[in-house]
Homo-oligomer: A and B are copies of this chain.
Amino acid sequence: MTPTTTPTTSTVTTGPIDSSSKQYLPVPGHEGMRVPVRRVHLSNGEHLDLYDTSGPYTDASATIDVEAGLPRTRDSWQRPEPVDGASTQLAWARAGIITPEMAYVAAREGFDPEVVRAEVAAGRAVIPANHLHPESEPMIIGKAFAVKINANIGNSAVTSSVAEEVEKMVWAARWGADTLMDLSTGKNIHLTREWIMRNSPIPVGTVPIYQALEKVKGDPAELTWEIYRDTIIEQCEQGVDYMTVHAGVLLRYVPLTAKRVTGIVSRGGSIMAAWCLAHHRENFLYTHFEELCDILRRYDVTFSLGDGLRPGSIADANDEAQFAELRTLGELTKIAKSRGVQVMIEGPGHVPMHKIAENVRLEEELCEEAPFYTLGPLATDIAPAYDHITSAIGAAMIAQAGTAMLCYVTPKEHLGLPNRDDVKTGVITYKIAAHSADLAKGHPRAQERDDALSRARFEFRWNDQFALSLDPDTAREYHDETLPADAAKTAHFCSMCGPKFCSMRISADVRAYAEENGLTSVEAIEAGMAEKSEEFQQQGGKVYLPVTPV
């Protein structure tokens, strides 16, 4: 499993994020185990610790060697004995065992480990952690926890290289991607994935049918269960943490897509539909599903049951094809869980706002609340080049409704492959959607960051405002475009209004004045203090201090 060809360059982005340092917090009851946080250091001496997906790359004291890979930390953790032949988080959770991974994610999210265990046992949460990906920092996906985001990368037949993909993974994790899907379809699929696995601190997912199709030179009709099975095993052995399996695309559902505006838009879905039609037989992923379960269980690989018939346009949302497949995913969920395999369910796609909640409701009903993992959804079709935004609207809403993980969409969706900048834009945009949902759901830690940033904003602590933001570099750059001087970083106004019109300034002065004069209640004000007014006028009649424009 050692990579045999090095990427063309092994340079990846390292170093801490603006005003932050990597810190590690202990895990109660697990000596030597520690969870990473990004500690933001504020100018007033305070700090705020943030959930940190970036791995050792942002640790100033870490030595990064892409060719050696990351430390295999999880190898040293005590793995519990199998339960009824299953060594999966689900089996252990059901047996009442709190695994090291559960303790880790509990500490990472600020939850009681018993809550983590119970959610995993119920199948409402998954911890995608292949035994053979010991470099990963465990994380949990479930609606009781912070909403997670996934970034897709992957070379295609048309473009990109191995080195680029490794850097995209590091880059995505740096800005907040909780998991990564490697959707490579071109040459070097195996090799690209090997480099990513050995260097990824976040769980990695794949869609194995892509590689299987490469093996039959791209002809879906030539696919067989055996080729697919061997591909799955190959990827399990590499350490892939979760796999998209389009086992719900049944032969009888394919005609339901014929009258759609955009037919079948899932690659995996279209491949399986083509296979079903070509052979007039049932989807081999469906007919061999139990065998699949047994393979994934061996490694504790998590199913991500793909929505091969998801809508590709507003017109096709929530239609018969989509929901017929969802019902089948519900059946498969029960089978997977009965065999001890963790499961999440993939969701749409393109859905107008008023049809979003129904997707979550049905998924929860049909799939026993297995974590929902949705692509957007895009709330309109009319904005190619801005589909990170059309989909962030849908993503925030579907996450508020209960979706556990959001698959990002970049500005290049429908148009081309994302470059490094697009990956960052996609990740930051989806952090916004996920965090907005955390706030709406009342996640216990979510609002701390908003409040800290808003206090910094109100007190004109510009550097703190940048440091606390999702993208400090861009926030600073935008500020500097108008007011580049360093002095502007401490100015008690900003470039939008200039010194005279600054509402924040006036407001701070109003507050100080009101407090000094005991005007802190409606009653005090209503007592009507002409006296105060006179005194104020004598002071010069100004509620703000003169400042020198920068």
Interface residues in chain A, defined as those with a beta carbon under 8 Å from any beta carbon in chain B: 156-159, 185-186, 210, 213, 218-222, 251-258, 261-267, 269-271, 273-274, 277-281, 312-315, 350, 352-354, 379-386, 388-390, 392-393, 396-397, 400, 411-412, 414-417, 419, 428-429, 431-433, 435-437, 439-442, 447, 449-451, 453-455, 457-458, 465-466, 468-471, 474-475, 477-479, 481-483, 494-504, 506-511, 513-515, 519-522, 524-526, 528-530, 532-533, 536-537, 541-544, 549
Q: How far is the CB of A215 from chain B (nearest CB, A)?
A: 12
A418 nearest CB across to chain B (Å):
9
10 A-B residue pairs with Cβ-Cβ distance under 8 Å, sorted by A, are A221-B537, A270-B504, A273-B506, A313-B457, A350-B454, A352-B439, A379-B439, A386-B432, A388-B389, A415-B494
Assess whether A382 is in contact with B450, with CB atoms less than 8 Å apart. Answer: yes
Asked if A451 and B315 make an inter-chain contact with CB atoms under 8 angstroms apart, the answer reads yes
Flag if A352 contacts B436 (CB, 8 Å).
yes
Kindly list chain B residues whose C-beta atoms are within 8 Å of the C-beta of A415: 475, 478-479, 482, 494-495
Distance in angstroms between the alpha carbons of A524 and B255 in the assembled complex? 9
The smallest beta-carbon distance between A223 and chain B, in angstroms, is 11
Nearest Cβ on chain B to A336's Cβ, whole angstroms = 25
Known: A213-B500, A385-B474, A454-B262. A495 touches B158 (CB 8 A): yes
B521 touches A439 (CB 8 A): no
Residue from B270, B458, B495, B522 within 8 A of A156 (CB atoms): B495
In the complex formed, the residue of B with least CB distance to A508 is B263
Beta-carbon nearest neighbor of A266 in chain B: B503
The A interface, classified by DSSP as helix, strand, loop or mixed, is helix
Taking the closest CB of chain B, its distance from the CB of A217, in whole angstroms, is 8
Q: What distance in Å separates the Cβ of A455 from its nearest Cβ neighbour in chain B?
A: 6
In the complex, what residues of B have CB within 8 A of residue A513's CB? 277
In the complex, A265→B507 CA distance in Å? 7
- In the bound complex, do residue A542 and residue B219 qualify as a contact, i.e. CB atoms below 8 Å apart? yes
CB-defined contacts of A507 to chain B, threshold 8 Å: 257, 262-265, 270, 273
Q: Tell me whether B279 and A382 are in contact (CB under 8 A).
A: no
**With a CB–CB cut-off of 8 A, which chain B residues contact A428?**
383, 386
A481 to B418, alpha carbons, bound, how many Å? 10
What CA separation (Å) do A439 and B506 show in the bound complex?
41
Given A261-B455, A542-B219, answer yes or no on A450-B315 (Cβ-Cβ < 8 Å): yes
Oligomeric state, in copies:
2
A383 lies within 8 A of B469 (CB): yes
| CA A221 to CA B416, docked complex, whole Å | 57
In the complex formed, the residue of B with least CB distance to A522 is: B252
Contact: A457 with B414, CB < 8 Å?
yes
Q: Roughly how many angstroms separate A73 CA and B68 CA in the complex, as a whole number? A: 73
By beta carbon, the residue of chain B nearest A436 is B379
A278 x B354 contact (CB < 8 A): no
In the complex, A115→B506 CA distance in Å? 45
Does the CB pair B352–A498 fall under 8 Å? no
B525 pairs with A251, CB closer than 8 A = yes
Bound form: Cα–Cα A219–B529 in Å = 21
| Contacts known (A393-B396, A475-B385, A544-B274); A380 close to B432, Cβ less than 8 A | yes
A255 touches B521 (CB 8 A): yes
Contact assessment for A510 and B254 in the assembled complex, using a CB-CB cutoff below 8 Å = yes
Are B503 and A264 neighbours in the complex by a CB distance under 8 Å? yes
Whether the pair A440, B263 counts as a contact (CB closer than 8 A) is no
Docked CA distance A459–B188 (Å): 31
Residue of B nearest to A455 (CB): B261
Contact between B510 and A273 (Cβ–Cβ < 8 Å)? Answer: yes
Q: A396–B376 Cα gap in the complex (Å)?
A: 15
- Bound: A537/B528 CA distance, A: 92
**In the complex, which residues of chain B have a beta carbon less than 8 angstroms from the beta carbon of A440?**
352-354, 379
Cα–Cα distance between A396 and B31 once the two chains are bound (Å): 48
Pick the contact of A382: B258, B396, B449 (CB < 8 A): B449
Q: Is the CB of A497 within 8 A of B386?
A: no
Chain A to chain B: the 4 pairs with minimum beta-carbon distance, closest first: A263-B507, A157-B498, A313-B454, A218-B500
- A471 in contact with B383 given A263-B508, A506-B270 (CB within 8 Å): yes
Question: In the complex, A191→B90 CA distance in Å?
Answer: 70
Cβ–Cβ < 8 Å partners of A498 in chain B:
156-158, 185-186
Contact status of A264 and B455, CB under 8 A, knowing A479-B415, A498-B157: no
Residue numbers in B under 8 Å from A251 (CB-CB): 525
- Chain B's nearest CB lies how many Å from the CB of A511? 5
Task: Report A272 CB to chain B, min CB distance, Å.
Answer: 10
A451 in complex: contacting residue of B219, B313, B436, CB < 8 Å: B313
Contact: B277 with A536, CB < 8 Å? yes
